[in-house]
Amino acid sequence: MGQQIRQAHFDVVVLGGGVSGVTAAAAAAKNGRKVLLIEAGPMLGGELLSGMSIDGLLNARGEYVVGGISDELLNECREMDGFIGPIHDYRLICYVCVDPEVMKIAVVRLLARYGVTPWLYTLAEDVVVDGGRITGLVAVNKNGRTLVTADYFLDCSGDGDLAVMAGAPYELGAPDGELRPLSLMFRMSNVENEPFLAFGRDNPESLAVGESDYIRAGRTDAQLAMELYKQGQPSLFFKSDGPFLRSAIESGELAPTALIMIMPTSAARKEVCVNTTRVAENIVGMDAAKVSATMSTLMEQVWGCVKFLKRKMPGFGNAQFAGLAPRIGIRETRRIMGDYVLTLEDAVGATKHPDCVAKGAHHVDIHQDGLKQVRIAIGNGGSYDIPFQCLLPKGLDNVMVAGRCLSATREGMGTARTMGPCMAMGQAVGTAAAMCIDRGYRDVRQLAVRDLQMVLRDQGAVIDGAH
């Protein structure tokens, strides 16, 4: 016998409790709306919980290019002694490091402050569409099915699930079918900082440094390695074609990878996050069976790197394996085609747009198989603008997207997919949804971008004034 479908109504429904979904839900609720946040997993925060640095919050000059809701989240971490702060990689970017265990609490505190309703362990099964508008979403969990109605729907799923179900056009991967590899972050504690940084200082030929002209500024690798040493944070990137990693990969001691990226997560625990694992088999991130099948390989790569670091990396001799990211990292799936498509030229040219609602500053980053990775710096150490039209799916009136499913070319998404711009995009669509409801707009395109920009500025977002 079929189960009766329940019904619920909210002003705004946000699909996806990752980086962009958290900020979208918080922004819509902060602006007075009743918000439902739907997440398939057991925890809110997405990649914020992985241990990975928060990239794209600052440009290479050290200027914050994202603010507002992100500031509130970082302040929560500060209050719980989980904020490490901005760090320069002396390669391409600056980034912000936090304690991912503290971040788990910070995310929930932020959402609770604004009264967001979370539904964990819940999937979006289908949508009801009427003339270019989503009028309802069928949510499924162990309680059964619920038809959720709302005025506005925000797709922060990463995969563009909501927009695609509603009929939005999209692109997936490269024309030849290439997709970025999957990864799994892990952490190690009891790392001794001084010998680790001294090793980097004394072996600059093994480090990835000075990959942008702005950061290099005429300095040698040795000089940049010294800057990393003086910075005093356990943050070094080792390149695959440098002597340290090359010999390990050639001997089979370490799985092929473009880099080993090490960044701090907790000074109290002397803990770092390591980003190095990869499965590059052009796996579509929506294919649950194929993604799940990578787990064994990724786990073996994690443990192999743990053993390698303990044996070979100064400062890691007494280090201990401390934890894994809560989920496999998926870098690339669908890109929803919107009213404007962010391009490679927009990003590397540090292009400014009059309808900017978010900024990005991370280099264009296309991970590939084996030792390969494309990295292209943003011009002059600056940032680029993400136009509001990148967040408006073609053919849909009351739907916006935020996060890595934004409207972009593959190269454009290769920078905008990082956490900083994802938070900014989330704040933009959450604020826009609240404003549209306040004004009785049925189509988000009725909202003047200058009005949205004014509210975003008032609430701390960075729209202009940065390189």
213-227 pLDDT, tens per residue? Answer: 999 999 999 999 999
Residue 464 lies in a domain: no
Nearest to 138 by CA among 161, 158, 160: 161
Residue 39 lies in a domain: yes
**pLDDT by residue (tens digit) across 131-171?**
999 999 999 999 999 999 999 999 999 999 999 999 999 99
Q: What is the pTM of this model?
A: 0.98
Residue 316 lies in a domain: yes
Using the Cα atoms of residue 332, residue 334, residue 340 and residue 344 in order, give the sign of their dihedral: positive
Domain shared by 139 and 22, yes or no? yes
Write the CA distances from 81 to 84, 87, 265, 286, integer angstroms: 8, 17, 11, 36
Average the pLDDT over 354-383 and give the result. 94
Residue 299 lies in a domain: yes
**pLDDT by residue (tens digit) across 80-107?**
999 999 999 999 999 999 999 999 999 9
Residue 445 lies in a domain: yes
Residue 195 reports pLDDT greater than 50:
yes
Average the pLDDT over 19-36 and give the result. 98
Q: Count the domains in the chain.
A: 2
Distance from C-alpha of 257 to C-alpha of 23, rounded to nearest angstrom: 32
Domain shared by 77 and 150, yes or no? yes
Distance from C-alpha of 138 to C-alpha of 121, rounded to nearest angstrom: 14
Domain shared by 161 and 280, yes or no? no
Domain shared by 111 and 203, yes or no? no
Strands (E), 369-459: 373-376, 384-387, 399-401
Q: According to DSSP H, which parts of 145-287 are helical? A: 161-165, 193-202, 213-216, 221-231, 243-250
Domain shared by 191 and 302, yes or no? yes
Domain shared by 392 and 290, yes or no? no
CATH code of the domain in which 427 resides: 3.50.50.60
For 40, other C-beta atoms within 10 Å of its C-beta total 17
Using the Cα atoms of residue 72, residue 76, residue 79 and residue 84 in order, give the sign of their dihedral: negative
> Residue 383: which pLDDT band, with cuts at 50, 70 and 90?
very high
Average the pLDDT over 181-209 and give the result. 98
Domain shared by 359 and 454, yes or no? yes
Return the SS3 of 418. coil
Nearest to 23 by CA among 360, 311, 430: 430
Residue 465 lies in a domain: no
Domain shared by 121 and 219, yes or no? no
Using the Cα atoms of residue 14, residue 16, residue 19 and residue 20 in order, give the sign of their dihedral: negative
Residue 336 reports pLDDT greater than 90:
yes
Residue 335's Cβ-count burial label (10 Å; 0-12, 13-18, 19+) is buried
Average the pLDDT over 392-412 and give the result. 98
Residue 386 reports pLDDT greater than 80:
yes
Q: According to DSSP H, which parts of 440-465 are helical? A: 449-458
Domain shared by 134 and 203, yes or no? no
Residue 463 lies in a domain: no
CB 397 within 8 A of CB 445: yes
Tell which of 324, 350, 376 closes a domain.
324
Residue-level pLDDT at 372 = 86
**pLDDT by residue (tens digit) across 262-287?**
999 999 999 999 999 999 999 999 99
Query: Strands 334-336 and 170-172, how do they pair?
Result: antiparallel
Average the pLDDT over 183-188 and give the result. 98
Tell which of 260, 293, 324 closes a domain.
324
Q: According to DSSP H, which parts of 217-332 are helical? A: 221-231, 243-250, 288-293, 295-312
Residue 3 reports pLDDT greater than 80:
no
Tell which of 275, 303, 324 closes a domain.
324
Domain shared by 233 and 358, yes or no? no
Domain shared by 39 and 127, yes or no? yes
Residue-level pLDDT at 2 = 61
Token pair, residue 380, equals: 């002059």
Domain shared by 304 and 386, yes or no? no
Residue-level pLDDT at 1 = 47
Residue 381 reports pLDDT greater than 80:
yes
Domain that holds residue 260: 186-324
Residue 23 lies in a domain: yes
Token pair, residue 146, equals: 């619920």
For 164, other C-beta atoms within 10 Å of its C-beta total 19
Write the CA distances from 456 to 30, 357, 425, 447, integer angstroms: 12, 8, 11, 13
Token pair, residue 425, equals: 């995009």
Residue-level pLDDT at 346 = 98
Residue-level pLDDT at 370 = 84
> Residue 402: which pLDDT band, with cuts at 50, 70 and 90?
very high
Token pair, residue 202, equals: 């004394």
